[in-house]
Amino acid sequence: MEKQTYISVSTDPVKSYQGIIEYTKSIQIIADMIHCDVMDGIFVSNKTFDHTLVSNINQNTSCMLDVHLMTNEPYASLENYIKAGANILTVHYEAFSKHDDIVKAIDFIHANKTLAGLSIKPETEFKDVRLFCYNIDVLLIMSVEPGMSGQKFIPETLDKIKEIARFRDQNGLNFKIEVDGGVNESNAKSLINTGVDILVSGSCIFKAENREEMVKKLKNK
């Protein structure tokens, strides 16, 4: 059975509120998901849209919404994003001061019939989050430092993905491996072959002359 690869198209390269709405409407046919990076200006230096824009995207597209919270202590805002239409809601391991609160967040997301994701920064080792992998739907690996679009892919990410994929197979787990940062047509095949299920792509698709063809290239089709 052929491995299914999903493309989660990031809104990061689009600079205006209305531009994001129009862009997501235009790519919803070719995207498997819309990746919404939410930044609070605290966890990362940049600040972007909140749940109101996620809700607006949800009202204007039929795509799955892959919402990535790059926010500090995100538990209090989870309900807002679930109500806004998030299908996958991902929080950062590093955003919590207590590990028990990560479990609490994952349980809350699941209780609201939403897929739960956990994300780790490049410097965070997989061993730090292994125990959470038994109860998540997505593990999002940052292959650049979070907070800025257009960065180059960190090559060492491939070794981390191999370790994660091996752990997943050895333990019979079903969580999806997602990678975000510097994904393009030159590294997509290696990522897929290493075990990645979901590729997040922003600038690569946004700048492509033919966005539909670019999505096919990323899927290695």
Report the alpha-carbon angle 56-180-188, nearest 5: 120
DSSP state of 35: E
Catalytic residues: 37, 180
Residue 111 and residue 170: Cα distance in Å, rounded? 28
Contact 183, 153 (CB under 8 A): yes
Contact 57, 51 (CB under 8 A): no
Name the β-bridge partners of 70.
39
Contact 172, 134 (CB under 8 A): no
Residue 64 and residue 24: Cα distance in Å, rounded? 11
Rounded to the nearest 10 degrees, the angle between the axes of helix 17-27 and helix 51-60 is: 40
Residue 78 and residue 168: Cα distance in Å, rounded? 27
Contact 37, 70 (CB under 8 A): yes
Contact 25, 63 (CB under 8 A): no
